[in-house]
Structure 1
Amino acid sequence: MKPFYLFLMLLWGALAFYTGYVVLHHGLNLFPDFFGDMAEWTWPGQFNLDFAMMLFLSASWTVWRNGFVPGAWALGLVAFFGGAGFLLPYLTYLAWKHDGDTGAVLLGRNIRETTI
């Protein structure tokens, strides 16, 4: 599992570097470009819509995994607006916390003990 943790952190570092470069050269006002591309019905707009849906799924999973408590909703908002910048370190933290138990990472509070 450790190579996977390192891979997640490598991805996060690359994203942080790229994001920093873009913010430095273009500023933080990404919403007009993001929604403007969607309004034009072009391939960049299709990609942005697809990406927004993935952000929604990530946020929904985060809220569900954490049991729909108020803190889970706050974390879901961070997941939606943070994208991979949130999800990569969050998954790394969960994998470390649950000692690589994928079921615990994915299910969180929703784990049910069963016996066969």
Structure 2
Amino acid sequence: MNAFRLLMVVFIVGVLAYTGIVISNHGWNLLPIFFGDIAAMTWPGQFNFDFMCFLILSGLWLTWRHNFSAAGFSLGILGLFGGIMFLAPYLLIMSFRVNGDIKTLFMGKGRWID
């Protein structure tokens, strides 16, 4: 679990630093570039489409993990739009809240039979 937590910290620091550099060099204008690459049917567009599918899956997983509650839908939207900058801190915090229990971390409470 400590290795997982360290990986989440590396993701948080790495993506925040990288994003800061990109914003300082290119501004906040992500969406036209992101969807423009998809519309152009290029390799960057293929990557963006693949990434968007992962973001949707992340949002659905967060919503499911919280039993499709109002909080779950809110977390799902944050996962969809926040990507790893939301998901890594979420998983890091939740790993402590569930005392390192990997089943509970990824499935929520009471979703399996031992």
TM-score (norm 1): 0.92
Q: Which residue of 1 aligns with 2:24?
A: 24
Query: Conserved in 2, the CA contact under 8 Å of 1:9 and 1:88?
Result: yes
Q: Which moved more, 1:21-30 or 1:103-112?
A: 103-112
Q: Does 1:74 align with 2:74?
A: yes
How far residue 109 of structure 1 moved from its aligned partner, in angstroms, is 4.3
Query: Conserved in 2, the CA contact under 8 Å of 1:34 and 1:45?
Result: yes
Partner amino acid for 2:68? F
Map Cα deviations across residues 18-39 of structure 1 (whole Å, 9 max, x no partner): 1111111211110110000011
- Number of residue pairs matched by the alignment: 114
Q: Which runs of 4+ in 1 moved over 3 A?
A: none
- With over 3 angstroms needed to count, the CA separation of the structure-2 counterparts of 1:23 and 1:106, relative to structure 1, is same
Give the % identical residues.
40
- With over 3 angstroms needed to count, the CA separation of the structure-2 counterparts of 1:23 and 1:56, relative to structure 1, is same
Partner amino acid for 1:49? F
Query: Conserved in 2, the CA contact under 8 Å of 1:58 and 1:80?
Result: yes
How far residue 3 of structure 1 moved from its aligned partner, in angstroms, is 2.6
Partner amino acid for 1:7? L
Distance 2:31 2:69 in 1: 29
Q: Which moved more, 1:102-111 or 1:13-22?
A: 102-111
SS state at 2:99 partner = coil
Distance 2:7 2:35 in 1: 31
Map Cα deviations across residues 15-67 of structure 1 (whole Å, 9 max, x no partner): 00011111112111101100000111110000000000000000000000001
For the aligned residues, what is the CA RMSD?
A: 1.3
Matches within 5 A, 1:12-91: 12-91=12-91
Distance 2:101 2:70 in 1: 25
